[in-house]
Amino acid sequence: MKLFPIWAVSLSLLAISPTILARKFPTSGLYNVDANVGLKDVQGTVAAFGDFNGDKFTDIITLSDDQTSISIYLWDHAAWTFTLLPSANVTISQTPQSFIITNIVPGDFNRDGKLDLLVMGQQNPEPDVDGELMMRIYLGNIDDGFDPNFIIIPSATTQQPMTFDLNGDMLTDLLGYAFEGYQAGVSTLSVWKNVYTPEIPNKIFEIMPMNFTGESGPLCTLSKPHSSAFVDLNGDCLADIFLTCFDGHQRSYVVYVNNKDLGFSFAVSGLLPEGAGQVTFADIDGDGAVDFVVPACDTHGQCSIYVYYNQQMPLCTSKGQNDCRQVSNLCVADPNFSFSVDPDHNTSPGALVQFPLNGVLPDGQQLLLSDPDFKGRLPVAVHVGDYNLDGYPDLLVVSGTPGDNRRPSSATLLQSVLCSTGDDVCLPSAVAAKRRSFVKVTDGADALNFVQDVRAAAFMDLDEDGTVDIMLLRNSPLQQGVAGRAITMIHNNYFNDAFFLKTLASNGVSPTWSGPNDKRPTKEGAKPFGVNYPGATFKFTVLDTSGIKRANQVAQYPSSTYMNLALPFSLFGLGRTNNYVEELFVGVTRNQDEHFTTYAGVIPNSQLIIIPYQAEDASRPSTPSSGYGLEGGNGMGENVSMQAENKGGPSEWTLELYIRPGDYVPWVFVVLVTAIAILAGVVVGLNWMEKREDERERKKALHIINFDAL
């Protein structure tokens, strides 16, 4: 494990330039900084986030207003602004047939540690028109942008394929409906299996049927649009498949859990509320299990936020406690996991929280669940981020007037609060289970609440300083294309007495070499950080100020469809704590006995990058894994899979920890130097006074008369 030396931070303080310190604002709150970040001239919209040059700062990928070209804007940390990278521009030729881009998926598809682009598009992308979804991949290079000789991928239907890892080889696969199968009447899901090899560089995917194992789940036809995801839902730190379905009458969800060698098997299913929009994932109540959030508007125009709480065996917080999960078993599956309740409000011990938005959104506005101006389907998702770092995720929603684009639309920040007795939102069972509700943030939020014509909003960390900032995409009359958006950046300057932790897991590419089959060193200073790896899971425990331990779970890049502006890293608050992060569990999708590892005593307010690179002959199961289970109700069961034949595994992974000096650190250094100077002055002064006193004593001794000698 590699740690950034703390003493190096102290020694480098004298060289710190004021330009790298966070911008100063007079009061706590949100501030509009879009005039300072270099995006006012963007002719288009933000389509995705990624770290293109591997400098640990988030860059943005923009789509032109006519949806035919792509540009990369790199974040310049020293200048505190975005700069256009001309060499990375991609323009889609409209001959021999038109290709209108409807989605951009950044990722490392040839596993060389460099960010590639999967571009999806249609000939005539109308929201209600089904047809062929064409796909192509542009391979990336840190120096030269993208290879113009793109690789054509077999087409899908308009239900955009999602990224996931089919067989645990850490290569990015796709799951969706193949267009050829759709034409032939095949309605089952297909997999674009990643088969890239340097020997055949022009072939990345081959299509095969998706076969689920075990008990067959309910029939699921992906909704249009769908919000399927690759995220751990049963608690074993191994990403599962979450699908949203529509049977012509109602929307539902289905979860297939990841069993490594045994494939994916059906686990749970349920109904979604009437008028449901895109599903978002987060550990809302901070219990160590990922919940999901659903925005919905019914036929009467009543909009709400529904939180489906993931009910798993809780963390043991005291000695002698039964029916709980020991800390050492945080990454062991609970096969009895379930979600709180169905939309019919059949209560359960962890009842669903339905947060009505009628009195929260501006007058006359409803949740904006889709962008009507975009060519193709573009749902508007609710974004999750911990803006005040208290350890409980908050929500960012967009609202407008349905059917009237000329009326104002806006974004609203909702703060997570504990359900309380007498609250009209939470049922008594939710209060007893310590679930969470939301309140609108108004104090210091004028920079957000007064912005009009908002079409989309997302959280991001603008300067990698550990605070969650906000990006707004606004309808712009100055841009001619339907996808043209004005970009507004809202800087988070709330003064929070809390800590954060930022994590990123790569796809296992060697941190020293360009890839497992490429022996050329990477560009100096560039490492495989920008790979947008889906499916990584982080769980951590922390002590609050009252000494109670709690667990949190965070998913990395769970969804990649419909330009949902998912971040390629995880940033979460730790709340107020006087201790280190006691345990941090990191899980990836490797198909081997040990797919996760644990780090203890992690320093808060730091950025951790986990590179799960290991030798090709690392630990593999000697026989198929028999899974995980509960033992008698006294705690989570142990891993009963067979021992590995070979050495290796998570012990070979690399952890790099980076600490960003805070604004107060130079002043601490000044105080330290001043204190040392004062103490040194006191020592020198006392030493001088002592010597002077000794000299006086010596002179007195010379004048003493020895009367005995007379």
CA atoms within 13 A on the CB side of 131: 15
**pLDDT value at residue 372:** 84
**Most confidently modeled range among 434-443, 479-488, 539-548:** 434-443
pLDDT, tens digit (0-9, with 9 covering 90-100), for 382-417: 999 999 999 999 999 999 887 666 677 899 999 999
User: What is the C-alpha to C-alpha distance for residues 369 and 384, in angstroms, rounded to an integer?
Assistant: 15
Residue 573 lies in a domain: no
What's the domain range around 454?
29-505
Q: Is position 576 within any domain?
A: no
For residue range 30-54, list pLDDT tens digits in order. 999 988 899 988 989 999 999 998 8
CA distance 414 to 439: 5
Is 515 a residue whose pLDDT tops 80? no
Does some domain include residue 398? Answer: yes
Element (H, E) at 385: strand 383-385
Q: How confident is the model at residue 586 (pLDDT cuts 50, 70, 90)?
A: very high
Q: Which of 217-226, 236-245, 299-308, 645-654 has the lowest mean pLDDT?
A: 645-654
Of 349, 72, 121, 377, the C-alpha closest to 225 is 377
pLDDT confidence of residue 701: 78
| Domain-located, residue 695 | no
Length of the chain: 710
pLDDT confidence of residue 241: 97
> Mean pLDDT over residues 482-507, rounded?
91
Say what percent of the chain tops pLDDT 70.
85
Instruction: Residue 437: give its domain's CATH number.
Output: 2.130.10
pLDDT at residue 53, rounded to an integer: 87
pTM over 0.75: yes
d(CA 57, CA 170): 23
Whether residue 127 is predicted with pLDDT greater than 80 in this model: the reply is: no
What's the CA gap between 339 and 352, in Å, rounded? 9
pLDDT of residue 185: 75
CA angle at 11 for the pair 5 and 17, rounded to the nearest 5°: 110
Report pLDDT for 433.
83
Amino acid occupying residue 526: A
Q: Residue 379's pLDDT is what?
A: 95
Mean pLDDT of 239-246: 96
Task: Report how far apart, in Å, the C-alpha atoms of 278 and of each of 157, 571, 636 are.
Answer: 19, 21, 33
End-to-end Cα, the chain, rounded Å? 82
Quote the pLDDT of residue 543.
86
> Total domain count for the chain?
1
The predicted model gives 460-485 an average pLDDT of: 85
pLDDT tens column, 317-331: 877 777 888 898 999
Which pLDDT score is estimated for 709?
54
- Please check whether residue 423 lies inside any domain of the structure: yes
CA distance 238 to 290: 12
Task: Identify whether the C-beta of residue 503 lies closer than 8 Å to the C-beta of residue 655.
Answer: no
H or E, element range at 182: helix 179-183
Distance from C-alpha of 552 to C-alpha of 545, rounded to nearest angstrom:
16
Average pLDDT over residues 620-632: 37
Which range in 71-75, 144-148, 322-326 is most confidently predicted, on average pLDDT?
71-75
* Residue 572 forms part of a structural domain: no
Both tokens of 197, joined, read 């090899």
301 lies in a domain?
yes
Query: Is residue 7 over pLDDT 70?
Result: no
Q: Poorest-confidence range of 299-313, 418-432, 644-658?
A: 644-658
pLDDT given at position 145: 85
Confidence of residue 646 (pLDDT cuts 50, 70, 90): very low
Regarding predicted confidence, which is higher, 647 or 166? Answer: 166
In the prediction, which pLDDT does 621 show? 45
Region label for 158, one of left (φ > 0), alpha (ψ between -120 and 50) or beta (otherwise): alpha
Mean pLDDT check: name the lowest of 146-155, 368-377, 431-440, 700-709: 700-709
For residue 114, give the 3-state DSSP assignment: coil
* Mean pLDDT (the chain, rounded): 84
Is the confidence at residue 224, as pLDDT, over 70? yes
**Does residue 45 fall inside a structural domain?**
yes
CA distance linking residue 435 with residue 421, whole number of Å: 12
